[in-house]
Amino acid sequence: MQIHTVQRGDSIWQLARRFGVSAEAVTQANGLVDPNKLVVGQALIIPSSVSVHTVVPGDTLWSIAQRYGTTLQELARINYIRNPAVIRPGQQIHIPQPNRPVIEVNAYTEKFGARGVALTNEIAPYLTYLSPFSYRVQTDGSLTALDDTEVIQAAYNHRAAPMMVITNFEDGTFSTEIAHSILTDSAAQNRALANIKDTMKLKGYMALNVDFEYVAPDERELYNRFLQRLVDELHPSGYQVSSCLAPKLSADQQGTLYEAHDYAAHGRIVDFVILMTYEWGWSGGPPLAVAPLNEVVKVLHYALSVIPARKIVMGMPLYGYDWTLPYVKGNKWAPSISPQEAVERAAKYGAEIHYDSQAQSPYYHYYDERGREHVVWYEDARSVQAKFNIVKLYQLRGVSYWVLGVPFPQNWYVLKENFRIKKLL
């Protein structure tokens, strides 16, 4: 594939003719609702089997690498280019044929019933794990019920392993009190463990994901011991155990979200960790890219210093946010927006999409019917390709998506072009 950034005057018909593909193929690859409405700055996937690129004025080796989903270093290597900063119009650049590495892919879902089944049927072919969110642990060790039977069966139908998720979530946030009870009360912990094992066996789960957040800092070692106990109890039955980690930059990072998340211990204890590398830009905060790559890489650098790459799964968002400006802390929170809806909204309001080269994320401004200025940050084919390049560069175990139910056809196309998905079934 190639990734093309829409310029003024572009049309699907013209692009299809230029790149030698059908207009229908371009429309389908991008999930375009109305192919006649393109937005300047919009990223489009162009299905392609091109093996040679002819340099045109304005090309750089980096931009060519981004376009074909490879790296500047790889292009320089196979084309024997000593100075990557110097290429000339008319020069033939050989594009490496994709050697797709195998990775694991997880996705969380909060959709159940008929909608959840339909969504699972659509996305599970791309997944190693499907993680229904979530079984909420109570202070006494009991678990809230989850209507997950149908989506689990749908996951099995597509060879996606269901992964049970347990959280200390309550009333819209993560509860320090619930975590405290499970970590300090042996009776509650025993009951929780028995309920987890019974549920996994009854429902057919193949793995467990522990997402305990806002654990009290002084209970860090207790949390580590709880994870070790889960591993000791579940491994003999063939279950895998994973944990979620807040995006830390150092072992001693301050804050209740971070302090009890011991990267080195989790990396030693569990089968793999999921780094929650998103929400720099969040609904109640100032406008930012949700998962700016420059910040994600900082987290990965620390994680890789204490956890083997084969145990690291990088979190990725399937959504963006639309902030009303000026941002004022405490005002109405920004609503989430799907990447597909973001482009449609840009078209509606005549906005031009820009791309932040540092964050590797698209954004744009627009004015609504009431004259209020907005800024939208979201994900597109370019931003996910940039993240996939990092996964390949660091040879990570895989990626994990939050959360299904947000239309983003480009992501799944780019995913399958970059990787082969490991299946456990």
- Segment 283-306, tens digit of pLDDT: 999 999 999 999 999 999 999 999
Region 16-39: mean pLDDT is: 94
Quick check: 322 and 365 in contact, CB under 8 A? no
| Distance separating alpha carbons of residues 60 and 80, to the nearest angstrom | 15
Nearest to 245 by CA among 195, 199, 302: 302
| CB neighbour list of residue 92: distance below 8 Å, 6 or more residues apart | 52, 53, 54, 55
Beta bridge partners of 44: 4
pLDDT surpassing 70 at residue 50:
no
pTM score of the predicted model: 0.91
Catalytic residue positions? 213
Per-chain mean pLDDT for the chain: 96
Region 81-103: mean pLDDT is: 89
E strand residue ranges, 292-393: 312-317, 320-324, 336-337, 354-356, 361-367, 373-377
Q: Which two tokens mark 320?
A: 């963006």
Region 340-354: mean pLDDT is: 98
* Three-state SS at 337: strand
pLDDT of residue 67: 81
Q: What are the chain's domains?
A: 2-94 (3.10.350.10), 102-317+383-421 (3.20.20.80)
Q: Lowest mean pLDDT of 65-74, 152-161, 188-197, 244-253, name the range.
A: 65-74
| Distance separating alpha carbons of residues 183 and 221, to the nearest angstrom | 10
| CB neighbour list of residue 394: distance below 8 Å, 6 or more residues apart | 300, 304, 309, 312
